[in-house]
Structure 1
Amino acid sequence: MRNRGAGMVSANNSSRLLLDYKAEHPEAYCEILEYIFGEDGIGVNHLKLEMGSDINSSSGTEPCVMRSAHERADVTRGAGYQLAADAKKINPDLTLDMLWWSEPRWVSDVDDLYAARYQWYKNTLDAAYETYGLKFDYVSAVQNERGADLEWVKYLSVHLKSERDCPYDYAGIKVVGGEEVCTWGFADRMYEDEELMHAVDVVGSHYTSCSTARAQQLAREYGKELWFSEASSPMSYGQGTYRFDGTHSGLSDLNGVLDIANRIIGMYPNGGMTLYEYQPVVSAYYDGVCYCQKQLISAADPWSGYYLLDSGFYMSLHFSQFLKKGWAFVDSGCFSDGKPGGDGHAIVDAVYSYMTATDTESGDYSTVIANTTPEPIAYTFRVSAVDKASAPVGVWETRGPDGGSYDAHYFKKISDIIPEEEQGAYTYTVLVKPYSMVTVSTVTPRRTEYKNKEASEQALLTLPYADDFAYENYPPDYLTSRGGAPRYTTDQGGAFEVEQTESGNALVQQITAHTRAKEWGFTPDPVTCFGDDRWYNYSVLVHVKLDPSEEPAKNYAGVGLRYTLACNAVSGYSIRLYQDGSWALLAQDTVKARGSIGDFDPGAVHALHIKAEYNVITAWIDGEPVAEYVSRSESLMGAGRGALYSAYHRNCFSRLVIRPTADAESYITRYDNTDVCFAYEGAWEHQTATGFKHYKRTISQGKEGAVCIVRFVGTGFSLFGETGKAVLSVVIDGGEPRSVQVCETGPREISYRCDGLAKAAHTVRITVAAGTYSVDGMEVIGGEVPGF
């Protein structure tokens, strides 16, 4: 079998901010795309797009290109199709695929479901070609990770093959089936149904490196391809976790770099799969969404153009730079003894893990090896029957630091080896260090050095900031080229797009109860968030016009700040105004104050204004103060982005203005609990592979008597993270101990804060006096914010 290479899934809002990189920093956008699709980068050669339906398909909403049966398909909505067009300029041989999580309501609610669904598919294919010249090579027929409708799969295949009214040969589009999680039941159905066997060209499965014997028989005897059609990127924080991951590499643990490398290596010998599709490659959405801290490249700072080549990027180079698409796998050089474990997707207990492929034309060959054990492993190569059996090989290594920078040993050439002839073959030995990976190859990459951007380039989005949604200083087609998407926003529920109204441009929430698609997982009421999550003390003002509704007590528009957890329905603090004149002030999803406005005009434009100043939240409506909430004994939300909220109505937002709070620190610098500004003594448990609600997926828990020491420069600090009740003894700069009662807090919430210190270097010693205490990270105020 031949290596199909690396694929990428662009879905779930994961590519959204790339539109802003393209508009604000086109040079950074081009660099990112070169790293993803270029020969010198990850070399992605297959791109699968979500056919969006305006529901949250995990990390956000992917816009629907057809919101009614009569609407002309608009593939400028979302980033996917535009990304595909730009990627094809870099790699013309890139193949394209598309898959649906949910489908538009006008499709799912009609009697002739198949005809409506096919109309959606075909009109999308037509529009992609008409708008961007895109030709799709594949379409995924089944719903993502849900039971397959086999009759629909056959219907789609037959109709594509018989299609004549199309801009290119739709009969040549191959059909992908399966898309299940860790199972291959679809393969079994193909054996039971000759028409289905004929209809399907590829079978994919998600989050498993293993397949069944019957699935592999499809490849050997029927010529069907098997794909690892949705697969994880690493979810580790290499910059900090090397201190506490148990191996001091920053590469180990569940869903870490070496785990993912083992999944890629094992997919062929244990599954007969030839393509590994990363989901996602680039996280071009804001932190705090479902499954965040999962990427090869992070791109969440479009105002500065900053991006991060994460540890997984360097892991991917071990494959992309040495094993090319079309190379033949060498069965005797492919092996993995790891097995599924942990969360069911991870590869655990692996000792020997290696993958080999060769270019049958040139005779070049490469072997990728991962070692997830605490001991070095020596591999002896015996090479014959390839043209370059006697050729020198280079050894490229990625491993943890030796007391220096966390990435000092990422993708480094460590030796050249000249094989020795022995009984008709050529032999040599390579020693693979503990918790590392190497590639042994006759190929020398064209590019051998990759330099990440400096943290100082991660510039702050400074306040004040305003958006009138007119974009007069941008090209005339700025909005039409991006489906009306406003600058710097990511939708988590609903769809927020700019429209021309009687009073000028406004941001309009598009989805109503009548057009809302069926859920795939969970979608909150419409909400979009925007801006820098280092904003701390600031205010947000926006003008709203409520869409007339038959249920005025349920229709609302709102504005919020300190938004950090998009995976929650509501995050931070917000003020909502309802069509019946009532209002509510919320902390997270809890109402802290209510009221009603006399002589309320539901058809007028109203100003909503909310301000955060340390632990005091104040709200105004039409310039009149309506509520003040002071967080005292309760948990407090720290820094975060702005947000706009809406019910499922076409509510309008205009004249957005964000200002710093006078006489208060406007910004913070955020640190993870594994960063070097933290030190620990005593009984601490450090988890470096936790859930996405924890910052960087890490958290540390200390028992009674445990000590945490933090060092920073600034006027104050806050510790945040999910913890139970505890008593702390806090000593600041060697002063007198102070006893602090910590309340129960949720993820990302502040459990302890201290303001009003002199602007200087400080050392704080925190002892757990009673109970257990967890810390996820620290926010420093009054210090120098990187990039500011």
Structure 2
Amino acid sequence: MSCAGTTIILTAGDVAAAARNRNGLTYKGFGVLSGNATSSLLMDYKAEQPQAYWRLLETLFGGERPLMNTVKVEMGNDRNNSTGPNPCVMRDRSEYPAVGREPGFQLAADARRYQPGVRLSLLRWMAPTWVRSNDDVYRWYKNTILAVYREYGVMADSVNPDVNERTADLEWVAEFARRVRTDTEGFLGDGTDDPNAGFASDEERELFRRIKVITSDEEITGTFAGDVIAQPRYLNAMDVASYHYSVEDDPDGNFTRLAEEFDKEVWNSEAQAVFSNSADRPNNTNGDGVDDPRACTGLGGPGGSLEMANTLIKGFVESRRTHAIYQPAIGACYEHMEYAAKELVSARDPWSGWIYYDAGCAALGHFARFSKLGWESADPDEPADTHGIWRAIPQASGCAVGGNNPVNGARHGEPSYLTLAAPDGGDFSTVIVNDSGLTARYRLVVDAALAACGKPLTIWRTAAANPGERYDAGWLKPVAIVEPTRGEADITVEPWSMVTITTLDTVNRAQDGTLSAKPAFSPNLPVAAEHSRAVLDQDPEHGVLYADDFAYADAPTVETMKHGQLVREDYLASRGGDAGATPRYTTDSNGAFEIVPDETRGHALRQQIDWTHAGNAWIEGDPRTAIGDMRWANYRVSVDVRFEEYPGRAPYVLLGAREMGGDKFTTDICGYDFKLRADGVWLLRRYGDEKRRGHLEDLRKAAARAGASAFLPGAGGWFTLALEVAGPTITVRLNGAKVTEWTDDRPQSAGRVNLGTSFDHVRFSNLRVERLDGWSPYYTALIDDMHLVSWDDGVTSVLEYDGDWTHENGQGMFTYMRTISRTSSAGASLSHTFDGTGLDVFGPSDGGARIDVLVDGSLVAPQVRTMATSGALRTQLRVEGLERGRHTVTLRLANHALWQVDAIGVLL
């Protein structure tokens, strides 16, 4: 079936009018947002896997037509602002900004290795506790900006002085703009003799004064445009109008007016990328939204790359958005935390170097590869088209797709297209998205007065791969060359696909007619091979999964771009230095766990935030950091701990195991944790629920029985905690003495390690995660329920479903990869062939489903009741203890209860 045709008309007059607009219609392109702890593992890639790190930056920021040109940093206060905190670089008013501990600043500097003009934009979330007035805000911003420039040679290009996702304070925005543009003081030092005070050079002062001012990063359609237009002082102060997610204009069309009449930039300054991953998306049964409720939507459907592209198109058509910054573009944090699985690039395993580039990158390539994106000269004495930046043409763009956030009302083939044109009219590209099961038809009509009229039109398409092809075989590929007739051409867009039609000379044509990309237009997205995510298993010979003394004496130096030069830095200096350096393989969810000098250990891990410095948060909670591989299953984790002196009530330390995310409240996120107060009171908990409790006298007795060192209450002395998770049994030891043991009748079977504290200063040293004799240490793979076939060839079976199943995208953030597979039909089954000793099944469960377990064709356990769970990555069924080797396990629903599968863990 096909939908009614749509005509796109591009005229010389419309292109010329757009060319006269310097800011409002120039299509800027796309950016990376670094915030919410989503860059927490990025510096680990840089240090441990530099080849993968630099390839990532080259992929996103390199080439003549880069995918990205902006890095936006959300300045934080060490408190959670969704996935986690951003480190505060000024914890006290007088502190010189420790900009090395913020990975976003290094990202912006390093990106300039491949694109010297990469822009840096700043916004604040919650403020440090010393910031209590606008004068303090200005000091925080200014000193941070100048410290970044002095350290890396990157001056901020734009700043929103307001708070993220709050109603605009236009008086403050105007005052901030005045201060920036007239600043004569420079860096605000700590006293008159501070050598950092003032501007370091005339160039520094002039660059600072050129910073553009943004309003207002609201999370809804902006509420400020009418006031800005009505008040000349506000209009003069504001360079960029921005808001998040919504594609709509306000009821009076003021954002369109800001772009077209007042030549202001309008951004989507926090946009959503792809939900789930596109490599497995074609295995869905999402339904076409019209006739077939279980039709496959290919790359399309809820939260897919086509929806993302439609959001860009509708954002321009409705509200003239010409810049989109993705939160996050790079998911360099541990997975399955709050707002998980909504990124363009996944970088979860710095120990392996594994990085996955989603089809969302290909979708952005449809805009970026076939145009010249960016900014025109800000000098009013220069022509508006000095840099030749392509304009988005309103009259040749349209979008009838329904929805706002998400833009998902496309299932009847509603037209959606955006035309970008060179200011001289010599070339153009039109992006068309068809997020439906219908064939879409377009007629493209180009004015004969345009130099582009009559040029051959090359069609580039992104769609799902065919069976037997690698997952990305259909992403951003040239598929046809169309010769227009008198400036007109008919274009057909296949279901669940997007295309770019361009006059640029982008392909080579072989004698047999095969098209191949010219190098400058190749997508060049690296491929994530099947079985390329190695488990963190540091020293198998000695049974050590991971060990960290937090000293890094033997760590190699790290390459960093500073002032346009690649330089080598000491490992800890590159991550923040003695003021507090980011430890390896950690993602904080609240607080700040950093490496500091230690008089007895050389260096130690310290939780830095006390109650005096604990500012406001998005999600309240105590300091926590996650460490290691989510696939670790049975292990012993131990760590040395020391309480520093404390002024009031006794602080606590927490050691956690088997943490797989799945909740925004991370204080109680571990499957199991041991919480010890400095006065000797202790708890063993399961997801925050108390299972065992004791006191100082219990610890003394345990030490005496074991002949171990007694725990000394209060501050000052080092002691060692250990937590063992072996199948369903949890054991706690302190200084080697067994404190308690508990057996769980519904065990959580795998997950990362956590360290935690109260808002007090607590030190850690000698973290060790070790195998346990007789137990499988980890999953060789954690397989998403929608991973049916190998990414390598699209045909080799991974998970085999038989019977009446649905496989759906569009699930919530705490469903792994935002996908779920469901059945209620007795006899429906799931099979997997693997090398190992067993497998575990994860998914939401009320405990009602009963499963027949077949191993290598034989029924070994009939009607096994699933365990009730409280979430998606929670263990509902365990098939363990098989002889190590190759097995096929089939799980068959034995009754008519609802069975939901979210993931499968394969035990070594």
The two structures have a TM-score, normalised by structure 1, of 0.94
Aligned residue number for residue 728 of structure 2: 615
Residue 732 (structure 1) shift: 0.6
Aligned residue number for residue 430 of structure 2: 367
1:282 aligned residue (301, 323, 330):
330
2:621 aligned residue (501, 511, 524):
524
Change beyond 3 A, Cα 1:330–1:153: closer
Residue 179 (structure 1) shift: 0.8
In 2: Cα distance, 1:21 partner to 1:731 partner: 41
Q: Does 1:657 align with 2:781?
A: no
1:498 aligned residue (595, 599, 612):
595
Aligned residue number for residue 515 of structure 1: 613
Aligned residue number for residue 74 of structure 2: 50
Aligned residue number for residue 484 of structure 2: 419
8 Å CA contact retained: 1:702, 1:768: no
Aligned residue number for residue 677 of structure 2: 578
Give the 5 Å matches for 1:140-219: 140-166=160-186, 167-169=204-206, 170-212=208-250, 213-219=253-259
Residue 774 (structure 1) shift: 1.5
- State the one-letter code of the partner of 1:533: M
Residue 200 (structure 1) shift: 1.1
8 Å CA contact retained: 2:248, 2:318: yes
1:752 aligned residue (877, 881, 888):
877
In 1: Cα distance, 2:275 partner to 2:185 partner: 45
Q: Does 1:407 align with 2:472?
A: yes
Per the alignment, in what secondary structure is the counterpart of residue 455 of structure 1?
coil
Aligned residue number for residue 735 of structure 1: 858
In 1: Cα distance, 2:627 partner to 2:65 partner: 30
Give the 5 Å matches for 1:419-438: 419-421=484-486, 426-438=487-499
Aligned residue number for residue 515 of structure 2: none
Aligned residue number for residue 87 of structure 2: 63
Per the alignment, in what secondary structure is the counterpart of residue 402 of structure 1?
coil
Q: Does 1:674 align with 2:775?
A: no
In 1: Cα distance, 2:674 partner to 2:584 partner: 22
Larger strand share, 1 or 2: 1
- State the one-letter code of the partner of 1:337: A
In 1: Cα distance, 2:313 partner to 2:237 partner: 30
1:299 aligned residue (343, 347, 371):
347
Residue 89 (structure 1) shift: 2.6
Corresponding residue pairs, total: 769
Residue 552 (structure 1) shift: 4.1
In 2: Cα distance, 1:102 partner to 1:41 partner: 35
Deviates more, 1:43-52 or 1:186-195: 186-195
Deviates more, 1:386-395 or 1:652-661: 386-395
In 1: Cα distance, 2:878 partner to 2:853 partner: 13
- Residue deviations 1:721-740, cap 9 Å, x none? 11212131313134345122
In 1: Cα distance, 2:529 partner to 2:66 partner: 21
Q: Does 1:128 align with 2:152?
A: no
In 2: Cα distance, 1:84 partner to 1:367 partner: 30
Aligned residues: CA RMSD: 1.9
Residue 641 (structure 1) shift: 1.5
Residue 117 (structure 1) shift: 0.9
Aligned residue number for residue 366 of structure 2: 318
Residue 195 (structure 1) shift: 2.3
Task: Give unpaired runs (5+ residues) of structure 2.
Answer: 1-24, 187-203, 288-294, 374-388, 507-517, 539-543, 558-568, 701-710, 789-797
- Residue deviations 1:326-378, cap 9 Å, x none? 2012233211111225x656555561011111112471211111001211112
Q: Does 1:473 align with 2:551?
A: no
In 1: Cα distance, 2:599 partner to 2:216 partner: 49
Q: Does 1:702 align with 2:823?
A: yes
Deviates more, 1:358-367 or 1:135-144: 358-367
Q: Does 1:630 align with 2:743?
A: yes
Per the alignment, in what secondary structure is the counterpart of residue 222 of structure 1?
coil
Give the 5 Å matches for 1:771-786: 771-782=897-908
Per the alignment, in what secondary structure is the counterpart of residue 751 of structure 1?
strand
Residue 40 (structure 1) shift: 6.4
Residue 456 (structure 1) shift: 3.6
- State the one-letter code of the partner of 2:811: T
In 2: Cα distance, 1:697 partner to 1:43 partner: 25
Per the alignment, in what secondary structure is the counterpart of residue 149 of structure 2?
helix
Aligned residue number for residue 457 of structure 1: 532
Residue 182 (structure 1) shift: 2.4
In 2: Cα distance, 1:358 partner to 1:105 partner: 48
- State the one-letter code of the partner of 2:591: G
8 Å CA contact retained: 1:712, 1:780: no
8 Å CA contact retained: 1:105, 1:515: yes
Change beyond 3 A, Cα 1:670–1:628: same
Per the alignment, in what secondary structure is the counterpart of residue 613 of structure 2?
coil
- State the one-letter code of the partner of 1:25: Q
Runs of 4+ aligned structure 1 residues displaced above 6 Å come to: none
2:105 aligned residue (43, 58, 81):
81
- State the one-letter code of the partner of 2:573: T
Residue 269 (structure 1) shift: 1.5
The two structures have a TM-score, normalised by structure 2, of 0.82
Residue 59 (structure 1) shift: 1.3
Residue 177 (structure 1) shift: 0.3
- Residue deviations 1:104-157, cap 9 Å, x none? 11003xxxx111111111111111111111111111122111122233212211
Per the alignment, in what secondary structure is the counterpart of residue 83 of structure 1?
helix
8 Å CA contact retained: 1:209, 1:271: yes
- State the one-letter code of the partner of 1:726: G
- Residue deviations 1:483-520, cap 9 Å, x none? 1111111111100110111212110001111111112x
